[in-house]
Structures are given as C-alpha cells and as structure tokens.
C-alpha cells in the first residue's frame, strides 16, 4: 500500500512538471507567432494589422504609427533577409514589479559602418503579459534610440 501511494505521488509530481513544461512551450510558441506577425505587419506597413497585435492600443495610435513607419522605412537595414524572424529569443522579466512576471523579445541592432560607435544601437522591445494574452504586445512604445539612427 505504501509503495502504491509512493508511486502515485511520484507520478503526479512528474505529470504536473510535464504540464508546466508543456505550458511554457505553448506560451513561447504563441509569443513567437505574435513576433512573426509583428515583423510581417511592419514589412508591409499594415497599421490596422499592427494595431490588432497591441493590447489596448487606446490613445497611443500616433506613437504606434511613428514606430511602425520607422521600422517599415528602414526594414531592410533592421531586418535584412528577415533574419530576425529566425532568431526569436523569449526572455522573462519582472520589471513592472516582483509579482508581475512578463516575457519579452528584444533586438539590439547596431548601426552598420559606425566604426566609431557614435550612434547608439536601435533597440526594439516587444513585451508580453499573460493576463493580456501572449498573442498581444503589451507595450505600445517599442523603439529606443531610433531618432537619428537611420541617417
């Protein structure tokens, strides 16, 4: 009887661990799909499609339009041959607070031919928050250091 109870306990622990691993994998796959859609919308400058990827776009449409236009205009410099679609790395963060766990995908793109490192790298950050759904980008302002980067 004790061995049956022992094996049942071990089996339930293994199953719960397996479920957690499977859920984490599903979450990452959903984030990767959303990131791929983001790059597709940026490439063709589809603002309405891009808005649908953002959680609660609200009054930030102007900022979002500027970011999308910048990425579209400089797409070939930022994502030549769609290389960033092949290298999507999902990371964890609790930047908004210790109990607010989020995931993000971040790209740091150095300016070509900037041998003196005068230009700061372009940073694109896509933040995801589970209660909002991993099929939605949680932050509306995704670009950093883009002013003057394309010149």
> Quick one: DSSP state of residue 45?
T
pLDDT 10s digits, 27-84: 999 999 999 999 999 999 999 999 999 987 776 788 889 999 999 999 999 998 888 9
Please report how the helices 2-44 and 61-73 are oriented relative to each other, as an axis angle in degrees rounded to 10.
80
Asked if residues 68 and 45 have their Cβ atoms less than 8 Å apart, the reply is yes
CB 119 within 8 A of CB 148: yes
Q: Using an 8 Å Cβ cutoff, are 71 and 78 in contact? A: yes
Extents of the domains making up the chain: 2-144
**pLDDT digits 0-9 by tens, 80-111:** 888 898 889 999 887 666 667 789 999 999 87
Residues in CB range of 108: below 8 A, 6 or more apart: 121, 122, 123
């Amino acid at each position: 009887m004790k061995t049956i109870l022992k094996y049942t306990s071990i089996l339930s622990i293994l199953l719960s661990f397996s479920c957690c691993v499977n859920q984490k994998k599903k979450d990452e796959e959903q984030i990767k799909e959303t990131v791929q859609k983001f790059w597709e919308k940026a490439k063709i400058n589809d603002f309405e499609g891009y808005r649908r990827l953002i959680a609660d776009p609200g009054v930030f449409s102007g900022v979002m339009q500027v970011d999308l236009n910048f990425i579209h205009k400089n797409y070939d410099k930022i994502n030549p041959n769609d290389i960033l679609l092949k290298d999507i790395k999902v990371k964890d963060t609790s930047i908004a607070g210790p109990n607010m766990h989020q995931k993000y995908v971040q790209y740091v793109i150095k300016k070509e031919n900037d041998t003196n490192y005068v230009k700061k790298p372009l940073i694109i950050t896509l933040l995801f928050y589970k209660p909002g759904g991993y099929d939605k980008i949680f932050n509306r302002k995704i670009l950093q250091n883009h002013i003057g980067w394309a010149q």
